[in-house]
Structure 1
């Protein structure tokens, strides 16, 4: 294939991809991108680029470590090091560079990542036309890695419209804009590789995964759709070397907008809480509860006088939806509740004893919610899965005394069956196979040597969980 024919071939392939994207109303391509013989992202980028900025951070002064070797005159002369007095007069000031997105041109609000501006002494925002402004940190939220800056610009600014990230689908085309490695106004393109990613270290996570190249310095920059709308804030990469390998992550715009709105209005983020301790519904737990579903959250504990308690949610309920949105695991439940504001009302769908129910709860502010027998040898008197543990009554010195009824795990031998099952000393077992217990005799009755499966409800410190032992 000749170079000219090759160029025409790839132009035709790109045209087909653009036309396919245009057929999707959620990723419609502006008509200007299809004009002429060379389909291009340039018309969209002409509108979007001025809204993406460079964020330069100067950190707090840092003294060099007090190493006794540095006090040796010969050592200092040999390596041409300044004397200690000079060093104290001119401490090092680390700098960092990231990206940001203007989302309100009138008020000068700029979004970026918390990790870009944390511990900053001075923040400067540089626009793509080289104008520079000192920025004020209006507020930040480490739990979502979002920060809101404000600049006082004399001239007009350009803002990015915020899209509904719930409309994103795997395969949608996206463009990442930022300042990687200090290179100004860099654009890369790709697709949405995955949705709902979590486990990257933030408390509230719902990352968009993309193969659009994201590198150091891109943090806080924009992930846009082909309309030039903000669908995410670039935040992290998965890499063994620090460079891009095609796995980047962006915080979805709906999560960003929720945090941004609160910070812009009050300067802080107030978390809502339902007041439950839960765990993912596994296939084993579903079997133990006689359920034909394997996705949801099992309620292990309901906090006293919490929204959940007032709504009638009980231990062993399985939460499946919040406001009609499916809940697959506890991370999704945490997002569905924690990203709302205190005082909001939610409808919680759950399954109790195999029957579907709906309850309504008014969420509370997270800051307002805080969770004489002798010990007997298990021996052959209890199920094999409890081998290696000893049990006894709840004594007065136990923090849960008077709060719950159950049996205390007094000791667990290392590498024993009980240890492998997850039991720990000071755990309080409150029920076995959904039957409440209050003393060791009931433990022996319900967890005898012939019982092949145990579903234990355990109180551990301020929390609670279910353990399935076979």
Structure 2
């Protein structure tokens, strides 16, 4: 796995939040990016037409094992996108989600050093990528698509509070669309780039390939973007306040680096 962390001075995200998680969540624990890497570009299994929930424990469950409402669950699977980054001699996989008909959000390290990006949706449809741009401040990227994406979620107006429910929707290991549930455990200085400021911490389980997954509240609104985890199983999320700030700044994104 590989990823590059920007060094641009950051601003602290705005939003509802209580006291930060203590440094025990990050000190002495190396956070790892969540792109799934492979030596050969063998395609993963086809995308199924149904969502397979994780076996991780969930605080509350509804249809299909998620704490999302039925409407939120349906919207979540429609907006999730699987990403295959075919580089020069290597393959990595990640996740993303639509924010409009021709734009998806993912992590910077998911799209970096690519020769070609392959995108597919929950119903097995391939979507052609047009261009990828990455942010210098946070581990975020946007990908423009030639083909229309099925659906886009609503971005939450504010960051979640500690204790709020969270559902992560993505493609761990580049395979099946999966949902995992948990809670917002707090906020901590970004363990990979202190200049970003605070990021959210959740106990919702993630795996390699989950990079770029949307973190949703119980109504299916995006409250952040998953980008890393630590050795204790805690996941790190770029908060929606940071995502909104960067999306509103035309200078925040530049063409993503390719492998040549």
Answer whether TM exceeds 0.5 for this pair.
yes
Question: Is 1:41–2:65 an aligned residue pair?
Answer: no
Matched with 2:97 is: 101
Q: Distance in 2 between matches of 1:267 and 1:133?
A: 25
Cα RMSD (Å) of the superposition? 2.5
Structure 1 pair 268–181 and aligned structure 2 pair: CA distance change class (3 A) = closer
Q: CA deviation at 1:134?
A: 2.5
Q: 2:86 aligns with which of 38, 58, 63?
A: 58
Matches within 5 A, 1:419-438: none
Matched with 2:204 is: 212
Residues 130 and 146 in structure 2, CA contact (< 8 A), matched pair in contact too: no
Q: 2:127 aligns with which of 118, 124, 133?
A: 133
Q: Distance in 2 between matches of 1:266 and 1:144?
A: 13
Moved beyond 3 Å, runs of 4+ = 38-42, 265-269
Matched with 1:163 is: 156
Q: 1:117 aligns with which of 111, 117, 122?
A: 111
Residues 106 and 212 in structure 2, CA contact (< 8 A), matched pair in contact too: yes
Q: CA deviation at 1:136?
A: 2.7
Q: CA deviation at 1:165?
A: 3.4
Q: Any gaps of 5 or more consecutive residues in structure 1?
A: 1-13, 19-28, 61-92, 240-244, 270-470
Question: Is 1:182–2:186 an aligned residue pair?
Answer: no
Q: Deviations over 1:371-418 (max 9, x none)?
A: xxxxxxxxxxxxxxxxxxxxxxxxxxxxxxxxxxxxxxxxxxxxxxxx
Question: Is 1:151–2:178 an aligned residue pair?
Answer: no
Structure 1 pair 39–134 and aligned structure 2 pair: CA distance change class (3 A) = closer
Matches within 5 A, 1:178-257: 178-201=170-193, 203-239=195-231, 245-257=232-244
Q: CA deviation at 1:206?
A: 2.1
Residues 203 and 234 in structure 2, CA contact (< 8 A), matched pair in contact too: yes
Matched with 2:45 is: none
Q: Distance in 2 between matches of 1:227 and 1:258?
A: 22
Residues 68 and 217 in structure 2, CA contact (< 8 A), matched pair in contact too: no
* Structure having the higher Rg: 1
Q: Deviations over 1:122-157 (max 9, x none)?
A: 111111111112213342114311111011225x62
Q: Distance in 1 between matches of 2:120 and 2:195?
A: 30
Q: CA deviation at 1:198?
A: 2.4
Q: Deviations over 1:43-93 (max 9, x none)?
A: 121121110110110112xxxxxxxxxxxxxxxxxxxxxxxxxxxxxxxx2
Matches within 5 A, 1:329-344: none
TM-score of the superposed pair, with normalisation by structure 1: 0.39
Q: 1:261 aligns with which of 233, 248, 253?
A: 248
**How many residues of Structure 1 are paired with residues of Structure 2 in the alignment?**
195
Q: Deviations over 1:151-175 (max 9, x none)?
A: 1225x62001100233x11110000
Q: Distance in 2 between matches of 1:180 and 1:222?
A: 12
Q: CA deviation at 1:202?
A: 5.6
Report which of the two has the higher share of helix.
Answer: 1
Matched with 1:341 is: none
Q: Distance in 2 between matches of 1:177 and 1:55?
A: 13
Residues 105 and 140 in structure 2, CA contact (< 8 A), matched pair in contact too: yes
Residues 137 and 147 in structure 1, CA contact (< 8 A), matched pair in contact too: no
Q: CA deviation at 1:226?
A: 0.2
